[in-house]
Amino acid sequence: MSQSAVKEGFARALFVGAAAVSVLAVALICVFLFANGLPAMAQIGIPEFLLGTTWRPANDLYGIFPMIIGSIYVTAGAMLVGVPAGFLCAVFLSRFASGRVAAALKPGVELLAGIPSVVYGFFGLVVIVPLIRDYLPGRGLSLLAAALLLGIMILPTIITVAQSALDAVPQKYYEGALALGADHEHSVFRVVVPAAASGIMAAIVLGVGRAIGETMAVIMVAGNQAVIPGSIFDGVRTMTANIVLEMGYAADLHRGALIATGVVLFVFILLITMLFNVIKKRGEAR
């Protein structure tokens, strides 16, 4: 009896320990990121770091404003591409597709989600960038290329989350609309979609999070010039790209500035995660 109680207690402690690991991990990530990034930020000067428009490590100039703007531009562009297509595709899968078509397309969307970002990046490099170079101004490596590619990459995130929100809308709303003489499209877009609005918003926010954090694919197609782009055909450097491009050889304050870039990105992501939770909670409350 007492032996089994000991065993039970031991197992319980192990499980609690396992559960604590994720808390510990988040704490460690915060501590190490902030401890290494904030001193550099302080040394550079917070306004100079966040709002400075010149990034020239050789001259000890560390302004990441172009990269913040770059991340925002690229993400916004990706949203313009990915949100309409992803939303419409989710509506298709949830309310238009026949069983056979959905059964064919759904695994395709899952495959799209599973393809590594380096494969996307390579695809962008050998297909999208040459297309832009040949038919549009600029060198091809551009904000436009990054936005198009990221738009494709966030499709599965948006489709999956939006579709499950649409699927969760009770059929009785749809039937109620039909019974009033509304046709299928009208019923779907005026009743089912509004009823799923918070879930669809959550899908978009999740897409924003993925787009702003994406690294490898963006590096391969964005051109990576550390200046604020003047047009969508100019190159652009995101915060993520900034870290990967220079971390390999950076030292001292330069290294600190790169980690601080990571801190800024991390704060962005935390805000997005919070926003996502607020939207989700509000959806559940209804």
Partner 1 sequence: MTSGTMERVTTREAAGATRTTVVPSAGAAAGAGAAGGAAPAANKMVVSDLNLYYKEFHALKDVSLTFPENQVTALIGPSGCGKSTLLKSLNRMNDLVEGCRVEGSIMLDGSDAYRDVEVNDLRRRVGMVFQQPNPFPMSVYDNVAFGPRTHGIKKRAELDEIVEQSLRDAAIWDELKDRLKKNALGLSGGQQQRLCIARALAVRPEVLLMDESTSALDPISTAKIEELVAELKKSYTVIMVTHNMLQALRVSDKTAFFLLGEMVEAGDTDTIFTTPSDPRTADYVAGRFG
Partner 2 sequence: MMAPWDMTAAQLNAASRITGPEWAVREAEVARRRRMVSSLLRGLVYLGAAATAAVLAFLVGYILVNGVPYLTPSLFEWTYTSDNVSLMPALVSTLMMAALALVMAVPVGVGSAIYLVEYAPRGSRFVSIVRTTTETLQGIPSIIYGLFGMLFFVTALRWNLSLLSGACTLAIMVLPVVMRTTEEALIAVPDAYREGGFGLGAGRLRTVFRCVLPSAVPGILGGVILALGRCVGEVAALLFTAGTIAQIPDFAAGGAMAVFDSCRTLAVHMYVLASEGLHVNETYATAVVLLVVVVILNAAATFAAKKMRKGSGND
Position among 7, 139, 186, 281 found at the interface with partner 1 (CB under 8 A): 186
Decide: is 285 part of the binding site for partner 1 (CB under 8 A): no
Decide: is 34 part of the binding site for partner 2 (CB under 8 A): no
Partner interacting with residue 269 (select from partner 1, partner 2, none; CB below 5-8 Å by kind): partner 2
| C-beta neighbour count of 222 within 10 angstroms | 31
Partner interacting with residue 177 (select from partner 1, partner 2, none; CB below 5-8 Å by kind): partner 1
5, amino acid identity: A
Partner interacting with residue 286 (select from partner 1, partner 2, none; CB below 5-8 Å by kind): partner 1
Decide: is 88 part of the binding site for partner 2 (CB under 8 A): yes
Nearest alpha-carbon partner for 149 in 78, 67, 212, 233: 78
Cβ atoms of residues 217 and 240 within 8 Å: no
Token duo for residue 188: 């779907």
End-to-end CA distance of the chain: 49
Cβ atoms of residues 36 and 28 within 8 Å: no
Decide: is 103 part of the binding site for partner 2 (CB under 8 A): no
Position among 97, 112, 131, 182 found at the interface with partner 1 (CB under 8 A): 182
* Min separation Cβ 47 and partner 2, Å: 23
Compute the distance between CA of residue 209 and CA of residue 150 in angstroms, rounded to an integer.
Answer: 11
Nearest alpha-carbon partner for 67 in 281, 265, 269: 265
Decide: is 97 part of the binding site for partner 1 (CB under 8 A): no
Position among 153, 158, 188, 191 found at the interface with partner 1 (CB under 8 A): 191
Token duo for residue 134: 């040949």
Residue placing its CB nearer to partner 2 in the complex, 11 or 136: 11
Cβ atoms of residues 136 and 225 within 8 Å: no
User: Which of helix, strand or coil describes residue 236?
Assistant: strand
Decide: is 8 part of the binding site for partner 1 (CB under 8 A): no
Distances (CA, A) of 245 to 219, 241, 255, 258: 8, 6, 12, 10
Position among 129, 240, 256, 257 found at the interface with partner 2 (CB under 8 A): 240
Position among 96, 178, 253, 254 found at the interface with partner 2 (CB under 8 A): 96
Residue placing its CB nearer to partner 2 in the complex, 23 or 230: 23
Residues forming contacts to partner 1 in the complex (CB under 8 A) are 170, 172-173, 175-183, 186, 190-191, 194-195, 286
